[in-house]
Chains A and B, each alone.
Chain A
Amino acid sequence: MSNGKYTLVEAVNLALHRAMRDDHSVVVLGEDVGVNGGVFRATLGLREAFGFKRVLDTPLAETMLAGLAVGMAAQGLRPVVEIQFMGFIYAATEHLVSHASRLRNRTRGRLSCPMVMRTPMGAGIRAPEHHSESTEALFAHVPGLRVVVPSSPARAYGLLLAAIDDPDPVVFLEPTRLYRMNPQPLVDDGRRLPLDSCFTLREGRDLTLVSWGASVHETLQAAAALAERGVDAEVVDVACLKPLDLDTLEASVRKTGRCVIVHEAPKSCAVGAEIAASLYERVLLDLHAPIQRVAAPDIPPPLYRLEQFYLPGTEDILAACETVLDYA
């Protein structure tokens, strides 16, 4: 932190400190989270502040991390698990899908699973293979889970605190590309932001831009460029991919009649498809143009020299906006 400003990863760190201080049942565990403070330093200082019993360096085993958290959560702890990169979360998936998300339901509420699984997500940091994925749709498909993606330090802070408080399991995806971008002033007041809600970042009448995570950055840039051309774009940060706040999206698109969805995950079967389909069900007759999706192609994130072509850029968003604005 420098002069009251925090980066996104520092905001995560601040929220973890806050949560652990306020609630003794919060326990942080993962690979390298203790002495090292996490490979991105998200857990920096927690070991010193809260000790070995609450900040656990674990064996290197993602399946184990997830399974352990289920057992801990069932005992009333609030485990916050760090998976080092989203590309390594798949071994943990079985426990999220088959156990964490279902424990409450399977026991008629007798046991619950208030765990958070945090992981850096997405491309754009010139990382090796398997470090750049954004497979959020895999988790957003699962009943019983919440999937949350902050796109700014303030939202990382408030949403993470809310996720830790939540009595149900949350997959908390942190856009790696934003980790150290655009520091923001932040007050450590413990204020939670609502889960299950979109955030309207910018109001507008002509067109709705929908995004989440790192792509919100380019989406806001596109909105600014449109404003210079006299086009008034509304920007909605979805923030919670499951459950999806369709009411806010519907209201916005009803107002503007035009919608472009931007995400860096591969295009097909992604959350963007879900949003588009739901909007067609609700607002078809208010639309002036077909909804457009700006996404990554259906390929694995390429090695880093070409990753900028994989990621949707501001120009790509602007091109899609032109399509919906020009539609007769």
Chain B
Amino acid sequence: MSPDLPYTRYLAPDGRPVTELPGWADDFNLLTRLYRQMVLTRLFDQKAVALQRTGRIGTYAPTLGQEAIGVAIGSLMQAEDVLVPYYRDTAVQLMRGVRMEEILLYWGGDERGSDFADPRAAQDFPICVPIATQALHACGVATAFKIRGEHRVAVTTCGDGATSKGDFLEALNVAGAWQLPVVFVVNNNQWAISVPRRIQCGAPTLAQKALGAGIHGEQVDGNDILAVCDRMRQALARARHGKGPVLLECLSYRLGDHTTADDATRYRCAEEVRHAWEEEPVRRLQAFLAGQGVWDEGREQALIADCQTEVQRAVEAFEAAGVQPLPAVLEHVYARWPSALAEQREMLGERLARRQGGEDHE
């Protein structure tokens, strides 16, 4: 019953090519840059989890296991494209120029983290927490591109659970009806908190949801960055040149807990996770590069040391940022604070004074 959707994989889990590689895959400079970015993302992610464990940031959603997908997306989007991400998109955000300290500020409970300094990310959306709603925002962004005749693409990401939501299906539907320049990347990491992929829907693939909307859908091995890059490049080109939207289902695995507030051992077995580690994306690319003679233990150690330094600097910048002054929470609720709400500004000011002034005010 499964419709014949394309499925792309170039590298076996041990890093050996399973088929002829695309031409660009002999650009080892490019591949080592992608590898560096995956390692950097992983180390940053580890650090973020550690910061949460020691109470220095709040709940965090690890990106462990999906570095290849994010790095591939980020490496291929043009600066003028717009990213409409979800909460597990650290990898893509870093590639869009979002700074590590901004990501830490966000998860550390400070709104300044969503005010990206890098111009590449200036029009990108902040990460979306309500599931699947971002798919529609991406369609709105793509509608604007289409109305203005711009060759830009909106890229939106989500998990497998998100594909069950009306927002996701409504987004595919309008993208198909209007042939919008949008790429939907589903990170099928097999779990939506404790609910496995098979319980989300009865269709054999998530990519085939595209078919009902009249758009192109395909599957790709999300742990194989060569495959994701290859298909993402095609998808972006297609959308950019008015050939319509694409749904890319990337098959991966959420190696970490859902968030730092979750304990995945409650609902999944060690054997499954052990097997997933054998497929993971960072080691796969490393093994490929080593097989090509362009990577070795010495380079690996140097890279790790270099990335650790970068992460550490970001942590220091984050910790030096201090707390944003209280009036900042009023600043952006409306373009101008409405005079009709003057009383509430006063209320907050008094509350601040009372807290700072000690108990006897209350």
Task: Tell whether, in the assembled complex, residue A106 and residue B114 are in contact, meaning their CB atoms are under 8 Å apart.
Answer: yes
| Given the contacts A67-B167, A95-B136, A61 and B173 also touching, CB distance less than 8 Å | yes
Question: Cβ of A79: which chain B residues have Cβ within 8 Å of it?
Answer: 140
Question: Cβ of A74: which chain B residues have Cβ within 8 Å of it?
Answer: 123, 125, 137, 140-141
Task: Tell whether, in the assembled complex, residue A168 and residue B141 are in contact, meaning their CB atoms are under 8 Å apart.
Answer: no
Task: Tell whether, in the assembled complex, residue A73 and residue B170 are in contact, meaning their CB atoms are under 8 Å apart.
Answer: no
Give the segment of A51-59, A258-266, A287-295 that binds chain B.
Answer: A51-59
Beyond A108-B114, A108-B332, A112-B335, 14 additional pairs, beta carbon < 8 A: A59-B170, A63-B136, A66-B136, A67-B137, A67-B139, A68-B140, A71-B141, A73-B140, A76-B144, A77-B144, A91-B166, A104-B335, A107-B114, A144-B334
The CA of A246 and the CA of B343, in the complex, are separated in Å by: 10
Q: How many residues of A contact B (CB 8 A)?
A: 49
Question: Cβ of A99: which chain B residues have Cβ within 8 Å of it?
Answer: 130, 133, 137
B340 interfacial contact with A, CB 8 Å? yes
**Considering the complex, which residues of chain A in the window 58-85 have a beta carbon less than 8 Å from any beta carbon of chain B?**
58-59, 61, 63-64, 66-77, 79
B333 interfacial contact with A, CB 8 Å? yes
**Considering the complex, which residues of chain B in the window 136-189 have a beta carbon less than 8 Å from any beta carbon of chain A?**
136-145, 147, 154, 166-167, 170-171, 173-174, 177
A210 interfacial contact with B, CB 8 Å? no
B263 interfacial contact with A, CB 8 Å? no
B116 interfacial contact with A, CB 8 Å? yes
The CA of A64 and the CA of B137, in the complex, are separated in Å by: 9
Tell which of B116, B332, B338 touches A243, judged by Cβ atoms closer than 8 Å: B338
The CA of A66 and the CA of B171, in the complex, are separated in Å by: 11
The CA of A77 and the CA of B143, in the complex, are separated in Å by: 10
The CA of A219 and the CA of B63, in the complex, are separated in Å by: 59
Interface string of B117-145 (1 = CB under 8 A from A): 00000110110001001011111111111
Task: Tell whether, in the assembled complex, residue B136 and residue A71 are in contact, meaning their CB atoms are under 8 Å apart.
Answer: yes
The CA of A212 and the CA of B75, in the complex, are separated in Å by: 54
Tell which of A54, A64, A76, A110 touches B174, judged by Cβ atoms closer than 8 Å: A64
Question: Min CB distance, A103 to chain B, in Å?
Answer: 8
Interface string of A17-61 (1 = CB under 8 A from B): 000000000010000000000000000000000000110101101
Question: How many A-B Cβ pairs are below 8 Å?
Answer: 136
The CA of A66 and the CA of B343, in the complex, are separated in Å by: 31
Task: Tell whether, in the assembled complex, residue A95 and residue B114 are in contact, meaning their CB atoms are under 8 Å apart.
Answer: no
Tell which of A56, A109, A143, A246 touches B331, judged by Cβ atoms closer than 8 Å: A109
Question: Cβ of B341: which chain A residues have Cβ within 8 Å of it?
Answer: 243
Task: Tell whether, in the assembled complex, residue B340 and residue A167 are in contact, meaning their CB atoms are under 8 Å apart.
Answer: no
The CA of A188 and the CA of B174, in the complex, are separated in Å by: 35
The CA of A240 and the CA of B339, in the complex, are separated in Å by: 13
B73 interfacial contact with A, CB 8 Å? no
Task: Tell whether, in the assembled complex, residue A105 and residue B136 are in contact, meaning their CB atoms are under 8 Å apart.
Answer: no
Task: Tell whether, in the assembled complex, residue B111 and residue A71 are in contact, meaning their CB atoms are under 8 Å apart.
Answer: no
25 example contacts (A-B, Cβ-Cβ < 8 A) are as follows A27-B147, A61-B174, A63-B136, A63-B170, A64-B136, A67-B171, A68-B136, A71-B84, A71-B137, A71-B140, A72-B141, A72-B143, A75-B123, A75-B144, A104-B332, A104-B333, A104-B334, A106-B126, A108-B111, A109-B335, A110-B115, A112-B335, A243-B341, A245-B340, A246-B340
The CA of A243 and the CA of B177, in the complex, are separated in Å by: 38
Task: Tell whether, in the assembled complex, residue B147 and residue A59 are in contact, meaning their CB atoms are under 8 Å apart.
Answer: no
The CA of A66 and the CA of B145, in the complex, are separated in Å by: 18
Task: Tell whether, in the assembled complex, residue A143 and residue B340 are in contact, meaning their CB atoms are under 8 Å apart.
Answer: no
B112 interfacial contact with A, CB 8 Å? yes
A111 interfacial contact with B, CB 8 Å? yes
Question: Min CB distance, A174 to chain B, in Å?
Answer: 22
Question: Min CB distance, A77 to chain B, in Å?
Answer: 5
Question: Min CB distance, B356 to chain A, in Å?
Answer: 24
Top 3 closest A-B pairs, CB basis?
Answer: A71-B140, A67-B136, A75-B144
Q: Which residue of A lies closest to B149 (CB)?
A: A53
The CA of A168 and the CA of B166, in the complex, are separated in Å by: 26
Question: Min CB distance, B176 to chain A, in Å?
Answer: 9
Task: Tell whether, in the assembled complex, residue A75 and residue B141 are in contact, meaning their CB atoms are under 8 Å apart.
Answer: yes
A3 interfacial contact with B, CB 8 Å? no
The CA of A247 and the CA of B177, in the complex, are separated in Å by: 49
Tell which of B116, B142, B154, B171 touches A64, judged by Cβ atoms closer than 8 Å: B171
| Given the contacts A61-B173, A63-B136, A243-B341, A111 and B125 also touching, CB distance less than 8 Å | yes
| Given the contacts A107-B115, A111-B123, A196 and B144 also touching, CB distance less than 8 Å | no
Question: Cβ of B145: which chain A residues have Cβ within 8 Å of it?
Answer: 75
A2 interfacial contact with B, CB 8 Å? no
Question: Cβ of A72: which chain B residues have Cβ within 8 Å of it?
Answer: 140-141, 143-144
The CA of A243 and the CA of B125, in the complex, are separated in Å by: 26
Task: Tell whether, in the assembled complex, residue B111 and residue A70 are in contact, meaning their CB atoms are under 8 Å apart.
Answer: no
The CA of A105 and the CA of B330, in the complex, are separated in Å by: 8
**Considering the complex, which residues of chain A in the window 137-151 have a beta carbon less than 8 Å from any beta carbon of chain B?**
143-144
Question: Min CB distance, B315 to chain A, in Å?
Answer: 22
Residue from the set A73, A94, A105 with the largest chain B CB neighbour count within 10 Å: A105
Question: Cβ of A196: which chain B residues have Cβ within 8 Å of it?
Answer: 338-340
Task: Tell whether, in the assembled complex, residue B173 and residue A64 are in contact, meaning their CB atoms are under 8 Å apart.
Answer: yes
Q: Which residue of B lies closest to A72 (CB)?
A: B140
The CA of A76 and the CA of B122, in the complex, are separated in Å by: 13
**Considering the complex, which residues of chain B in the window 239-285 have a beta carbon less than 8 Å from any beta carbon of chain A?**
none
Question: Min CB distance, B91 to chain A, in Å?
Answer: 20
Q: Which residue of A lies closest to B84 (CB)?
A: A71
Question: Min CB distance, B164 to chain A, in Å?
Answer: 14
Residue from the set B138, B143, B167, B333 with the largest chain A CB neighbour count within 10 Å: B143
Q: Which residue of B lies closest to A100 (CB)?
A: B137
Question: Min CB distance, A157 to chain B, in Å?
Answer: 22
Task: Tell whether, in the assembled complex, residue A110 and residue B116 are in contact, meaning their CB atoms are under 8 Å apart.
Answer: yes
Question: Cβ of B340: which chain A residues have Cβ within 8 Å of it?
Answer: 196-197, 240, 243-247
Question: Cβ of B171: which chain A residues have Cβ within 8 Å of it?
Answer: 64, 67
The CA of A66 and the CA of B133, in the complex, are separated in Å by: 10
Interface string of B93-112 (1 = CB under 8 A from A): 00000000000000000011
The CA of A98 and the CA of B338, in the complex, are separated in Å by: 20
Question: Min CB distance, A90 to chain B, in Å?
Answer: 12
The CA of A98 and the CA of B177, in the complex, are separated in Å by: 26
Question: Cβ of B123: which chain A residues have Cβ within 8 Å of it?
Answer: 74-75, 111
